[in-house]
Structure formats: structure tokens, C-alpha cells
């Protein structure tokens, strides 16, 4: 028998309602209009926007929305009989976005979302609701924007046990780091450039403190390891404390500084950490420029997979959302986290202090006799073995920059050494600690 059934009557259009018509929502309208014919051929049916909703009906969004029904009340999208899929593009972990998501799934509508904060905090509950109602919950755009990494891990790599997933999960931070690299800019100057280019919000906290990357990492970890999503178990250190000298010293050591989200499952449990790291200059992550994102997943049969692309922006994010809509139009969907919620494990949190590796430590110290000996003593007392000690006479506002590279040892020992040094009157400000990744 032919695997291709004879053509039957055309399927009815898939009817979509859009909630939130900002950067992402506007991109989805444009994409669905521009690629309408192609999408209908690929999906086997047409995809029609039937209704839209946002806060301000009269706002000029640079797109013609008059052909779509406007609803001031988002719940009207859920209540409408002519809506099959609700696309949530509002944002925020809770509030209107979560209410809409719960109502839509509860009513048996398919839900597509770009909202990493909501999935990171409420993904399990939403997935359970979707399972109970046997309706799709899709969130490709929530992780690494336009990169189809959810699909790749959920489907393409689904035969593999994945030991480790890591990557550059925040384009704003990567833009700032590459500005610092190229221009020798300070963090503040590079952040200003990112804001001027529209890559960073006026309040950049979520991005530069690693919170946004933590949301995405927790989602990737659940998918890769079959574990219960647990945003509370992800630790995040951002890039605020980096200075220009860190970027230069990393380069002199044959590395580049990248904000890396890494999740690893080992005998002790699940490790999930976002932090600036030294990445070897010959690793593909060191070449990811500007606001791009990249994800590496290591499968036990496929080996290392590397995905790179735009992690944000109207076009790339819309591309991911519409791919989810096309899957729904084809009836191609399954459990949100690749297995039923009840099959996900509750992995214990791994002991981060036991992780062994080399570390980069940068201190700013007062320029006086005895300070170097004090640092060396603190390291010795904490059991940290120093591989190199670098003092180039680089002055920061308040003192002199000292960089140490340690031999491989447990993170716990470095933490103990820095706790001793935190009490010193000669160490100025917070030290910068970065793992030197052996990838
Ligand atoms: N921007 C990106 O590149 C990107 C990439 C990946 C994922 N995402 C995610 O996509 C989502 C949307 O991001 P965005 O950049 O498009 O945001 P945005 O430009 O700020 O748009 C948000 C939209 O939601 C509407 N809205 C906000 N609060 C609302 C409320 N309480 N009730 C009803 N409507 C409300 C706004 O209405 P008004 O326009 O009337 O104010 C606006 O249309 C977020 O979850 C974000 O994390 C964004």
C-alpha cells in the first residue's frame, strides 16, 4: 500500500488567535501574511488569523490589523468557537499571560507561546493541563528564539541519552561581550551600545544578571534529561562585574568570555548553572558573534550537536512560532516535554562545589606590600593550587588588577579561598570568578 494516501477533501483552515501584538506578535502577522501560500502547502491546510488582542487598540503597530477581529478582552479569544489555536505573545511569568494560557488549554485549545519565563515557572502545570485536555502546548520560540532547538532535541535527537547541554542563551549578553572584546569597551559602555542598538532593555536586569538565560536553560534541561522543570534549582551569575581587563586576560590565555548556561546530569544529580566562563578560543561557541545564540547538546550516539542562529527579533521569533502552528495544523504534536509529565524524573540538585575544573580569578587589590602573599596564603589554606599569577600593573579606579589561574580542583575550594579574601581590607570590591571550560 502506498504510504501516501490518495488526496481527500481539503482540510478546513486552522484558525489562529494572536494575544499580544508587540515585536513578536507583529512578526507573526507579517510572516503568516507573507508566506501564506507556502505555509498552506506545507501544512496541508491554510492557516488563518481570525482574531487579535493587545492592550491598546489604537496603537500604531505599522501593520494593517483591520481585517482581523479585535478583542479587548483576551478571554474572548478563548471563548470564541472559531479559534483553534491561541498564540500567547504577551510576556511575564504570571499575570495575563498565565491566565490566558491556563484558560486556553483548559478550554481544549492549542497553545503556542514565546514566553520562557512562564514556561520555566509554570511549564509542568501547563503541560499537565495540555495532557488532560489532549491539546498541544508548543514553545519553540521560548528557547533561543529562531533556532529550532526544541524540535531538534525533542525529535531529531530523541533516541539519545544526553549527558550535557550548554550554550549562549542570551543575545544581549553576547552582544555586550563581543563589544567588549572588539573595542576594549567597559561593561557600562558596551551595555549603552546594546541599548542604543535595541538589543538591551532600559532595565537590562533580566538579561545581564543571567535570569533570562536561566529560564531557557531550565527548559532545555527538562527536555534533554527527562527531568521535572525546576527553575528554583538553576543558579545564575551574570556579567555585570566583568571589566575590560577580564576580556583581555582571557584572550591572553587563549580563551574568550561567554555567558554560558550549562546543564549536566551525573551520578550526584542535575547541575544547572548560568555564569560567565572562559571558553577555549577554538571552540565553536567562541566564534558566536554579536546578538546570536548557540546551543550544544551531546548525545551518546549522535555526538556533539551545535546549533547557532538569531535568539531574538521579530523575524526569527515569528519563524519559530509559526513552525509550531504548522505542526499543529499537521496534527504533529506530543507531550510538551517529550514524555508525559508523570514520566519526568525529579532529579536531585547536583553538588556544584564538587565540580572539578580550572578557574580564572580576578581581584582588584590595593597596591601595597604583602597583598600578593595574603592572596597566596588564602589559596593555600583553602587547598587551591595556583597555576599562574598575573599582575600587569593594570590599574582600575581603586587598585591593581591581579589574575590567578588555578590548577584543576573542586569549585568548593575556590569559594572557600574567596571567602577568606572577602575579609581582607586590601581586596577592593567583588572578585570575578569564572570556570575555564574544557569542552
Ligand atoms: N522580542 C523578542 O525578540 C523575543 C524573542 C523570544 C521570545 N520573546 C518573548 O515573546 C513575548 C513577547 O515579547 P515582545 O518582545 O513581543 O513584547 P512586546 O513588544 O512588549 O509586546 C507585548 C505585547 O503584549 C501586549 N500586552 C502586554 N501586557 C498585556 C496585558 N496585560 N494584557 C493584554 N495585552 C498585553 C502588549 O500590548 P500593547 O502593544 O497594546 O501595549 C503588546 O502588544 C515575551 O514572552 C518574550 O519573552 C521575545
Confidence band for 264, pLDDT divided at 50, 70 and 90: very high
Any ligand 1 atom below 6 A from CB of 293: no
> What does the radius of gyration of the chain's CA atoms come to, in whole angstroms?
24
For ligand 1, atom 4, the nearest C-alpha belongs to: 312
Over 50: is that where the pLDDT of 114 sits?
yes
Best residue for ligand 1 mutational test, from 21, 72, 88, 89 (most atoms within 8 Å of Cβ): 89
Q: Which stretch of 43-47, 260-264, 427-431 has the lowest confidence by average pLDDT?
A: 427-431
Provide mean pLDDT across the span 41-51.
Answer: 97
**What confidence score (pLDDT) does residue 128 get?**
98
Q: Is the pLDDT of residue 100 over 90?
A: yes
Which segments of 91-220 are extended strands (E)? 110-113, 137-138, 162-168
Q: How far is the CA of 92 from the centre of ligand 1 (A)?
A: 8
Return the SS3 of 9: coil
This prediction's pTM: 0.96
- Ligand 1 near 91 CB (within 6 A): yes
Asked whether the predicted pLDDT for residue 99 surpasses 60, the reply is yes
Whether residue 2 is predicted with pLDDT greater than 60 in this model: the reply is: no
CA distance 358 to 253: 12
**CA pair distance 52, 67, nearest whole angstrom:** 10
Q: What pLDDT is recorded for position 5?
A: 58
Kindly report which listed range (152-156, 299-303, 389-393, 402-406) carries the lowest average pLDDT score.
Answer: 389-393
Closest of 168, 166, 185, 165 to residue 176, by C-alpha: 185
From 27, 68, 91, mutation site for ligand 1 pocket: most ligand atoms within 8 A of C-beta: 91
Expressed in angstroms and rounded, the spacing between residue 215 Cα and the centre of ligand 1 is 17
Confidence at residue 1, expressed as pLDDT on a 0 to 100 scale: 46
Higher pLDDT, 72 or 267: 72
Are 21 and 65 in contact, with CB atoms under 8 Å apart? yes
Q: Residue 6: pLDDT above 80?
A: no
Q: What is the mean pLDDT of residues 362-383?
A: 94
CA distance 330 to 44: 7
Which residue among the candidates 116, 216, 358, 423 is catalytic per the annotation?
216
pLDDT > 80? residue 397? no
Closest CA to 433 of 263, 278, 286, 282: 278
Tell me which long-range contacts 36-41 makes (C-beta under 8 A, separation of at least 24): 39/322, 39/326
Does the pLDDT value for residue 7 go beyond 70?
Answer: no
3-class DSSP state of 421: helix
Q: Is 296 helix (H, G, I), strand (E, B) or coil?
A: strand
Residue with CA nearest ligand 1 atom 25: 20
Residue 188 predicted with pLDDT over 50? yes
Model confidence at 320, pLDDT cuts 50, 70, 90, reads very high
Grid cell at residue 271:
547541575
Average pLDDT, the chain: 95
What pLDDT does 368 receive? 87
Ligand 1 close to Cβ of residue 99 (< 6 A)? no
Residue 22 Cβ < 6 Å to ligand 1: yes
Confidence band for 4, pLDDT divided at 50, 70 and 90: low
Q: pLDDT at residue 110 above 90?
A: yes
Q: CA-to-CA distance for 302 and 178, rounded, in angstroms?
A: 31
Q: Could you tell me the three cell numbers for 245?
A: 581587563
Asked if residue 361 has pLDDT above 90, the reply is yes
pLDDT digits (tens, 9 = 90+) for 151-177: 999 999 999 999 999 999 999 999 999
Active site residue 59: no
| Res. 351: pLDDT tops 50 | yes
Which range (231-235, 328-332, 396-400) has the least confidence? 396-400
User: 141 pLDDT exceeds 90?
Assistant: yes
Share of the chain above pLDDT 70, in %: 97
Mean pLDDT of 90-107: 98
> Residue 439 — pLDDT band, cuts 50, 70, 90?
confident
Amino acid at each position: 500500500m502506498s504510504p501516501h494516501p490518495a488526496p481527500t477533501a481539503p482540510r478546513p483552515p486552522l484558525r489562529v488567535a494572536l494575544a499580544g501584538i508587540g515585536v513578536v506578535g507583529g512578526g507573526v502577522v507579517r510572516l503568516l501574511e507573507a508566506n501564506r501560500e507556502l505555509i498552506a502547502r506545507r501544512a496541508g491546510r491554510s492557516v488563518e488569523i481570525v482574531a487579535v488582542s493587545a492592550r491598546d487598540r489604537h496603537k500604531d503597530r505599522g501593520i494593517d490589523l483591520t481585517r482581523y477581529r479585535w478583542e479587548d478582552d483576551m478571554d474572548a479569544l478563548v471563548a470564541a468557537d472559531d479559534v483553534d489555536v491561541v498564540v500567547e505573545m504577551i510576556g511575564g511569568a504570571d499575570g495575563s499571560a498565565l491566565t490566558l494560557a491556563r484558560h486556553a488549554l483548559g478550554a481544549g485549545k492549542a497553545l503556542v507561546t514565546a514566553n520562557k519565563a512562564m514556561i520555566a515557572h509554570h511549564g509542568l502545570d501547563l503541560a499537565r493541563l495540555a495532557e488532560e485536555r489532549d491539546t498541544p502546548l508548543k514553545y519553540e520560540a521560548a528557547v533561543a528564539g529562531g533556532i529550532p532547538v526544541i524540535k531538534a532535541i525533542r525529535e531529531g535527537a530523541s533516541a539519545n541519552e544526553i549527558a550535557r547541554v550548554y550554550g549562549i542563551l542570551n543575545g544581549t549578553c553576547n552582544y555586550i561581550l563581543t563589544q567588549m572584546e572588539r573595542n576594549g569597551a567597559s561593561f557600562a559602555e558596551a551595555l549603552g551600545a546594546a541599548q542604543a542598538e535595541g538589543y538591551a532593555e532600559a532595565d537590562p536586569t533580566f538579561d545581564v544578571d543571567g535570569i533570562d538565560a536561566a529560564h531557557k536553560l531550565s527548559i532545555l534541561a527538562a527536555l534533554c534529561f527527562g527531568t521535572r522543570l525546576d527553575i528554583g534549582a538553576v543558579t545564575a551569575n551574570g556579567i555585570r562585574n566583568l571589566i575590560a581587563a577580564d576580556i583581555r586576560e582571557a584572550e591572553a590565555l587563549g580563551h574568550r568570555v561567554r555567558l554560558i548556561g550549562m546543564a549536566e546530569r551525573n551520578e550526584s544529580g542535575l547541575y544547572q548553572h548560568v555564569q560567565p566562563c572562559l571558553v577555549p578560543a577554538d571552540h565553536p561557541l567562541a566564534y558566536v558573534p554579536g546578538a546570536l545564540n548557540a546551543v550544544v547538546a551531546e548525545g551518546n550516539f549522535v555526538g556533539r550537536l551545535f546549533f547557532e542562529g538569531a535568539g531574538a527579533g521579530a523575524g526569527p521569533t515569528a519563524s519559530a512560532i509559526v513552525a509550531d502552528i504548522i505542526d499543529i495544523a499537521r496534527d504533529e504534536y506530543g507531550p510538551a516535554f517529550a514524555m508525559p509529565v508523570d514520566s519526568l524524573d525529579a532529579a536531585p540538585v547536583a553538588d556544584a562545589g564538587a565540580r572539578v575544573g580550572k578557574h580564572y580569578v580576578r581581584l582588584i587589590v590595593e597596591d601595597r606590600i604583602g597583598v600578593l602573599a595574603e592572596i597566596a596564603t588564602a589559596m593555600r589554606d583553602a587547598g587551591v593550587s595556583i597555576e599562574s599569577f598575573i599582575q600587569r600593573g593594570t590599574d582600575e579606579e581603586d587598585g591593581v588588577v591581579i589574575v590567578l589561574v588555578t590548577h584543576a580542583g573542586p569549585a568548593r575550594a575556590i569559594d572557600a579561598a574567596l571567602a577568606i579574601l572577602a575579609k581582607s581590607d586590601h581586596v577592593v570590591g567583588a572578585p570575578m570568578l569564572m570556570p575555564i571550560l574544557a569542552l
